Amino acid sequence: MLEFLQRVLGLDKPTASKKVAKERLRLVLFHDRADMSPQIMQSLKEDLIKVISEYMDIDKSGLEVSLSNESDGVALVCNIPVLSLKRTVS
């Protein structure tokens, strides 16, 4: 019964398939707004992870990349959960 109420109220933990579907939708929206191929978008995300990981330990599964339409153009918006800062560069 508790699980049912959590699902109805949106308090349940997202399943792996739900996370994958959400990420795919995010990539599709990103593609539509940027007029970029999904492969280029994935490469951009991987490059961001690679560069930022040299300076910080990040939660790669929580990384979100999106585009935001601004009045004077399009902005790249990244939500990157930082776990810790690195003292030395690798």
DSSP conformation letters of 15-77: PHHHHHHHHHHHHHHHHHHHT--HHHHHHHHHHHHHHHHTTEEE-GGG-EEEEEEETTEEEEE
Q: Which residue range is the domain that position 64 belongs to?
A: 15-85
Residue 44: inside a domain: yes
Residues 54, 44: Cα–Cα separation, whole Å? 16
Helix axes of 16-34 and 38-53: crossing angle, nearest 10 degrees:
110
Residue 75: inside a domain: yes
Give 30's pLDDT tier (boundaries 50, 70, 90).
Answer: low
Residue 4: inside a domain: no
3-state class of 8 per DSSP?
helix
Residue 2: inside a domain: no
Pairwise pLDDT comparison (48 vs 25), residue with the higher score: 48
Residue 1 has pLDDT above 80, yes or no: no
Residue 71: inside a domain: yes
Per-residue model confidence (pLDDT) at position 81: 92
Number of domains in the chain: 1
Residue 1: inside a domain: no
Per-residue model confidence (pLDDT) at position 61: 86
Residue 46: inside a domain: yes
Residue 10: inside a domain: no
Angle at Cα 27 formed by Cα 9 and Cα 45, nearest 5°?
Answer: 115
